[in-house]
Amino acid sequence: MFHRILFPSDFVQRDSAALAQVKDLAISNESTVFLLHVIETIRDTSFDEMRDFYRDLEGSVRSRMQPVYDELTAAGIRCEEHIVFGSRVREVMRCATEWKADLIVLQSHRINPDEPFEGWGSMSQKIAHLASIPVMLVK
């Protein structure tokens, strides 16, 4: 059913539930998984001005992404790694379109019932509303 799964992530431990879903879906559907991390760029500042800073972040992300890539490929899953720079929501939407993804899987946070109006407008919520393809939010 889903053959091209986009998994935007920070590649931290809290994303483990979403990763488990990606892995299960990819195995059962013989899918390709696109691992994506978007390094948010600073508005109104040129990339060149912050180049060293962004490259340091890229190295850190790459080291967190590698074990996820290794886990997926060890399970026989076709996988691509991508690190891009820009606005996170905009870049996820662009990549989903460019790579012809048919599902986006994101880790999402739980809303605290004691503070029901806090935490709205998250990246996962924006992507869920903007995407023209199915989005799975994993809590």
Give the residue-averaged pLDDT of 26-39.
Answer: 97
Side chain identity at 72, as an amino acid letter? L
Give the residue-averaged pLDDT of 27-45.
Answer: 95
In the 3-class helix/strand/coil scheme, how is the chain assigned residue by residue?
CCCEEEEECCCCHHHHHHHHHHHHHHHHHCCEEEEEEEEECCCCCCCHHHHHHHHHHHHHHHHHHHHHHHHHHHCCCEEEEEEEEECHHHHHHHHHHHCCCCEEEEECCCCCCCCCCCCCCCHHHHHHHHCCCCEEEEC
* Residue 9: predicted pLDDT: 93
- 82 φ/ψ angles, rounded to the nearest 5 degrees: -145, 135
**Prediction pTM value:** 0.91
- 4 φ/ψ angles, rounded to the nearest 5 degrees: -135, 95
* Residue 118: predicted pLDDT: 67
CB 85 within 8 A of CB 37: no
Among residues 127, 125, 134, 107, the alpha carbon closest in space to that of 4 is found at 134
Question: Given pLDDT bands bounded at 50, 70 and 90, which one contains residue 13?
Answer: confident
Give the residue-averaged pLDDT of 31-58.
Answer: 94
Digit-coded pLDDT (tens) for 54-102:
999 999 999 999 999 999 999 999 999 999 999 999 999 999 999 999 9
* Residue 124: predicted pLDDT: 87
- Per the model's pLDDT, the better-predicted residue between 113 and 137 turns out to be 137
- Which option is the CATH number for 4-138: 3.90.420.10, 3.40.50.620, 3.40.710.10, 3.40.50.1220? 3.40.50.620
Side chain identity at 134, as an amino acid letter? P
CB burial of residue 70 (10 Å; 0-12, 13-18, 19+): exposed
Give the residue-averaged pLDDT of 42-49.
Answer: 90
Domain ranges of the chain: 4-138
